Structure formats: C-alpha cells, structure tokens
Amino acid sequence: MTRTTIEDLFIHELSDVYSAEKQITKALPRLARASTNPLLAEAFKAHLEETQGQIDRIDELVEGAGLKLKRMKCAAMEGLIEESKELLEEIEKGAVLDAALIGACQKVEHYEIASYGTLIAMAKHLKMC
C-alpha cells in the first residue's frame, strides 16, 4: 500500500505498532522467566497485562472506526526483541542480566512512546480525537 495521504500513513503506523505490541506479548514471558529478581519478574508480568490492554484498545479503535490494519511485522520491534534474545544467550542469569533486561525494556518503552505520540498527532490532524 502506497502511503500518499495522512490516512494511509496513520493506518501504516497503527499496523506497525499493533505488530510491535503482539511481538512484545510473546517476548515478555521469556524475560520474566529469565529474571532472578522477583520484583523485576512481576514488572514484566504487569507489562504483559498492560500490553494486552493496548492490543485490546487498538482492536476497539479499528472496529469502531471501521479501519483495516495491514498485515505486517514491525521490523524495529523485531530488532529490539532480537537484542534481548542475544542478552539471554550471552549473559549468565543474575544481577547483570537483570540490569541488561531493564535496559532492553527501556528501549522498547521509548519506541512505544514515540509510536503512540506519532499516532496521537495524526489522529488529531484527522480529527479522530
């Protein structure tokens, strides 16, 4: 699909973030199991619930607005998750791995924040909110 309008771009970006959220739901349980800090493991589980809520809200938006998402895979999130897999392979379980996983999750969060900020700006431009 060619992105020639703000509407096209909005659908593309929404499809991208939807894919990102789906990928995150698959990665977070692995991170929770890898953590040796119980509070960190709980934070990963809480984030999983939050992520599922975000997916549900996107589903509601798509249905309510009559939008059709594109089938795509968010390459940026795929890369961030791949980095976290490398951490799991390269660092022994313990405090260092926990710290590395926190850093990896911060990268994911910043990507999400930027993505949703962009979507909000576009939605306002399109008078969707």
pLDDT tens figures, 29-40: 999 999 999 999
Domains of the chain, by residue range, sit at 6-125
Max distance between CA atoms of the chain, in angstroms, equals: 50
Q: Which of 49, 40, 26, 27 is nearest to 93 (CA)?
A: 40
Residues 39, 46: Cα–Cα separation, whole Å: 10
pTM for the full predicted model: 0.93
pLDDT for res 2: 77
Q: Average pLDDT of 48-77?
A: 97
The whole-angstrom separation of Cα 15 and Cα 73 is 8
Nearest-angstrom CA–CA distance, 85 and 117: 27
CATH superfamily of the domain spanning 6-125: Ferritin, core subunit, four-helix bundle (1.20.1260.10)
In 3-state terms the chain splits into helix, strand, coil percentages (rounded to 5) of 80, 0, 20
Interval 70-129: pLDDT, tens: 999 999 999 999 999 999 999 999 999 999 999 999 999 999 999 999 999 999 999 987
Query: What is the mean predicted confidence (pLDDT) over 63-75?
Result: 96
